[in-house]
Chain A
């Protein structure tokens, strides 16, 4: 367990190495973003640097309202940062990065499409042949335990099932990198553990990279190889933890049972410096 006294220097050390090897999926250097509210400039992201390596799972936790969602929208090109650099696979791009899947707390399923139709959406947009899209979408639904629900409309599915469909819609495009923004926050505990375990399997088995934004510390520690703790606004990196639980990282219950789990949780909780208001 390596607790960095100064998280910023730790990330900088890592990103410095990343600059030499351009295959690193995501490198963020000194990104800042402000919003204009009533003519005043409100800084949301102060100065943020981080790296996501190939096959790595990184969780970002932070106090409520610390601009996590702004960060995610900036990373996927929906917002432009005021300063700093974001490079995907060594390239700075404008607009949406290729090969990146994106999923939010809201499942955003289209109510007029069946579960299958929703999963096929991305393939359809990319112009994949209908038969092929249908087959791989069916396979993805089956993998996420939704066999037999392909023809159901979202309105007839439970919250957990809808979020599984949303996950299938993201994964069926075979993204190399997943950006998830509180994807399981609205689910009950059992459903959350199950879908977290499935996500971990599907990410780790295929060597995908995952960036998970969450305010659930236990979720962050049980899923991730590295947890980045953000400060209050204007956001910067407060601390970085490399999580070593010494177990298979696809079983969320086992992760919670492991020896060091609660130590990480306690330390991150202390870092968040949550006070009753």
Chain B
């Protein structure tokens, strides 16, 4: 009975134990985000802070000042609309490329013997531990017009004039896929390695061809991993700032960069806040899917049957 008491009935102490991490997250994640929404409804003004307050108390009159000018501009101006479409397109293409490169890699890593698997997995994780900024910087030296790639291709006689990649969308795609590939491989690997080999052997015994077995057994069983990987690539890519800034051209439109410009270059805080809200609005469905995916992993462990 004691076990039952400790594990199954929430005591006051247990309830209190939930609180501290909750407070941190509420204070530094939830409240700040609500503030962003509030400020997105303000208007630009000179002063500190550079936006109008939501409510003003004047002569016993409480005025609620909601300004929709930022949103009006965001939903009508063609440059902003082009930016959303471009961000979503870039994130989508990046996710697809990660899937095309990452799926076979994760598949072969999961199928390798134990020792090779450790090594191959380590080789995927290792870049993730080293600085993203520095690894993206490495591409600058490779992709420039006078960079290593063009020099090598010209020395081999494959091209006569340097390829224009650096400061184009192409360079941003390369950088994004490069940076986010491990995020796709790792969750997918985790779901592929759990796959019961006997299922495949059964499929073969029943006369399935290798591609049939893959298509009807492996792929459906690994879909949660594909889903998790795709979301972990897609969501941060939409708001990515460093990679388009370092590898992209002036015409590479991405929301993270747009928000950055509004905030730091134009000091238009309400506009930057509104762009952030639109970004979260676009990401709300993928984020909810990710939460659903994660929550099923966080599901409390099954109680053992012995008590």
Instruction: Say whether A and B bind each other.
Output: no
Question: Which residues does A use to contact B, with CB under 8 Å?
Answer: none
Identify the B interface with A (CB < 8 A). none
